[in-house]
Amino acid sequence: MSVHGQVKVRTSAEQKAARERERAEKLRLYLSEYENILTNRQTADPLVLLKSTENVLSEHPDCFTLWNVRREALLKIDHEQEKDFLEKELSVTQRCLQSNPKSYSCWYQRQWCLKQLREKFNVNLYKNELGLCKKYLELDERNFHCWAYRYYLLEQLCPPTSSTDLEPFYDQELEFLHATIGRNLSNYSAWHYRSKYLDKLLDQSPARRSAVLSLEWELVLNAVYTDCWDQAAWFYLRWLLFKQLGSDAISEDKHIKPLEELDEVEPRNRWCMLALCQLWKEKKIRDEKRKCYLVQLANEIDCDRAQFYRDQI
């Protein structure tokens, strides 16, 4: 092949052996460093501890003990330098998140840092954090750590201070969630947080209730028609109808009929059938058909949950 020398390709056995050697070496290094840190935990200078734990954690971000060591060290640092170190801590966690974006420890560490910084909070930091969330959600929109962190930011750290700002704040968040759902209907987190924010919006602006709920119904109906097999939208639909609208506001024409039409086009869809059974029960209509559906669900369509359906009859 090559002009100068013989080119040999490693066989898969050789590849495996090479990998094993690498792995063993990595493990040995890690264990020795870990031992070192633990023995010096109480006595060493906090800065030294921070340095040594940083090296280990960037390769192995899920080591709880080492994060504890870091927190202890950070608390020992004197008051004036504390802020800088806490901010630096955020960039350390960012590096660690790159190797595992779903590391419980890293996200927790970030939260802990922000909590410590509370009194000295600044707006740029907040924007930076939200930007980070957005980036991680783009990488994986179902990263529930990131979602939870985002809500921690919005709830705890930066809710609008004046009540006039609350309404647009909630609207903005609902927009963001709408766009997220638009990209992926199955994003359960997005629907879940949407329900939370809808609650808050309606508490804040009760006058908008019927308009908002009307639009919301259209949204969720669009979702279940587009993909009637995805459970996220169905859960939201049931929450909207029963917890938000309430029995009295449910109209046969507006709410029940479209679902009946969907049922005709897509028979034997367990979500649609269940939703209809619950609606018919609320409105005390179509009792016979309801019972018939529940029996079908129990015996043929969704036998795993047979008892659940039978209990409803």
Residues forming the site for another protein (CB under 8 A): 1-2, 4-10, 15, 182-185, 221-223, 225-228, 258, 261-262, 265-266
CA distances, 278 to each of 252, 262, 283 (Å)? 13, 16, 9
User: Shortest approach of another protein to residue 285 CB, angstroms?
Assistant: 22
Positive or negative, the Cα torsion across 148, 94, 117, 172? negative
User: Shortest approach of another protein to residue 265 CB, angstroms?
Assistant: 5
Q: What is the CB neighbour count within 10 angstroms for residue 31? A: 10
User: Shortest approach of another protein to residue 226 CB, angstroms?
Assistant: 4
User: Shortest approach of another protein to residue 176 CB, angstroms?
Assistant: 15
CB closer to another protein, 227 vs 252? 227
User: Shortest approach of another protein to residue 189 CB, angstroms?
Assistant: 16
Task: Pick the closest to residue 147 from 100, 115, 101, 207 (CA basis).
Answer: 101
Residue 14 CA to residue 301 CA, distance in Å, equals 52
Phi, psi of 94 (to 5 degrees): -60, -40
Residue 259 CA to residue 254 CA, distance in Å, equals 9
CB closer to another protein, 116 vs 186? 186
CB closer to another protein, 109 vs 187? 187
CB closer to another protein, 2 vs 162? 2
What tokens were used for 271? 């979500």
User: Shortest approach of another protein to residue 137 CB, angstroms?
Assistant: 16
CB closer to another protein, 14 vs 311? 14
User: Shortest approach of another protein to residue 37 CB, angstroms?
Assistant: 32
Query: Is the separation of the CB atoms in 304 and 281 below 8 Å?
Result: no
CB closer to another protein, 131 vs 182? 182
CA 313 remoteness from chain centre? 36
CB closer to another protein, 55 vs 226? 226
Long-range Cβ pairs for the range 292-295 (8 Å, 24+): none
DSSP 48-101: HHHHHHHHHHHH-TT-HHHHHHHHHHHHHS-HHHHHHHHHHHHHHHHHHHHH-T
